[in-house]
Amino acid sequence: MANVVVVGSQWGDEGKGKIVDWLSEQADIVVRFQGGHNAGHTLVIDGKTYKLSLLPSGVVRPNKLSVIGNGVVVDPRALVDEIDRLTAMGVAVTPDNLRIAENASLILSLHRDLDAIRESSTTGTRIGTTKRGIGPAYEDKVGRRAIRVMDLADTDGLMLKIDRLLAHHNALRRGLDLKEIDGKDIYNELVELAPRVLPYMDTIWSLLDEKRREGKRILFEGAQGALLDVDHGTYPFVTSSNTVAAQAATGSGLGPGAIGYVLGICKAYTTRVGEGPFPTEQDNDIGKLIGERGHEFGTVTGRPRRCGWFDAVLVRQTVRTSGINGIALTKLDILDGFKEIKVCVRYRLDGREIDYLPASERAQARVEPVYETVEGWPDGTAGARSWADLPAQAIKYVRWIEELIGCPVALLSTSPKREDTILVQNPFEA
């Protein structure tokens, strides 16, 4: 019985919500291990749509324990708002089905302000963040000045930690000609929210170790995609945390030996939100058509996603950096009706061909895709639930992708409906 990590193997938005929901039905525990409320998951269950940003996908299913690990940065106000929104939809969120790591760092209003100021600046590099304070919160975490969930329970010592935090932030604000922050305002903000957050607090590393020893199935749910990893992604156009599979262990407190299977999620084409390199982007009618068919708009921001052909070089690279055992290929149906479909099989950089994405920002901007073309399929794949339902050319496309990325397809998704899934290998039984 394998504990499963789900990671995006492109730049995020690969359709993790549906796959995680499909897997969460078999899991006992669903764990978020990195990121914050900057990544949205859309779940459709019994015709009802749930949009989650911070809470693990398992929270909408009965008899599942959802866990927010220490690798996540938690905005307490966003947490409370999301809980209230789900409650209004008839989903009970209580300490019986949600636990939050006591050592998770908090996102405060000053983090959101700083994030927005940076993104709105006319100088420096615009990353294309969601302006939700994720990056500044992680900066404070590694700078050893963060306020953590457990600090909400120690109001006597809270002000000292706020002063330590503001020694840094008020210096920044003076340099930006902004009004300094009064620590009492932060204190009052946190004291107000503490009673809504503290009931969920727990020692997560111990809880998960106990559940693992009991033989419970654990599903680790990643946010964003591996190409947004702060170390292995398209730096500096990345998120502020590690998004590769190894972070599931670090961000939850369980050792890497607890991970049995890594499932990578990728679309049958490629999308990206925000700034940064995108070798196969189609800034033309093809890209527009893919975006319209795929309803490619961000769950959190509503921003239109940049669209392009499948990039086998990038996915092959993330298969390696995340140790992916199998791929869940999503949105195959969006390619229905194309006469021909292109796939990037390698790059050309300064006149020579390479089979990987270089780490250099300037080199990433110069790489040119080398395409190979396969015949499309006129018949539809939408709603297919077995290989027999697929056109021969669609099967050929899937097999070609497997060969190019060096990884088998474990699941194939042919529509947003969870039942429209072709199962090749169940990750929990691998």
Please pick, among 21, 37, 41, 115, the residue that the annotation labels catalytic: 41
Q: Are 224 and 8 contacting, i.e. CB atoms less than 8 angstroms apart? A: yes
Q: Pairing mode, if any, of strands 306-308 and 48-52? A: unpaired
The letter for the amino acid at 10 is Q
- Of the CA atoms within 13 Å of residue 397, those in its CB half-sphere come to 31
| Tokens 């998960």 found at | 208
Q: Which long-range contacts (CB under 8 A, 24 or more apart) does 151-156 make?
A: 151/106, 151/190, 152/76, 152/190, 152/193, 152/194, 152/197, 152/198, 152/201, 153/194, 153/198, 153/201, 155/191, 155/194
42: left (phi over 0), alpha (psi -120 to 50) or beta: beta
For 327, phi and psi rounded to 5 degrees?
Answer: -110, 140
The verdict on whether omega for the bond into residue 427 sits within 30 degrees of 0, i.e. cis, is: no
Q: Are 93 and 55 contacting, i.e. CB atoms less than 8 angstroms apart? A: yes
Is 115 part of the annotated catalytic residue set? no
| Tokens 């996908």 found at | 57
Q: Give the span between the Cα atoms of 5 and 244, in whole angstroms.
A: 10
Is 13 part of the annotated catalytic residue set? yes
Please pick, among 13, 75, 229, 333, the residue that the annotation labels catalytic: 13
Q: Give the span between the Cα atoms of 191 and 186, in whole angstroms.
A: 9
Question: 72 is written with which tokens?
Answer: 């996540």
Q: Give the span between the Cα atoms of 419 and 406, in whole angstroms.
A: 27
Give the CA distances from residue 405 to residues 96, 260, 347, 402, in Å, rounded to whole numbers and listed in that order.
41, 21, 14, 5
8 forms bridges with which residues in the sheet? 265
Which positions are annotated as active-site residues?
13, 41
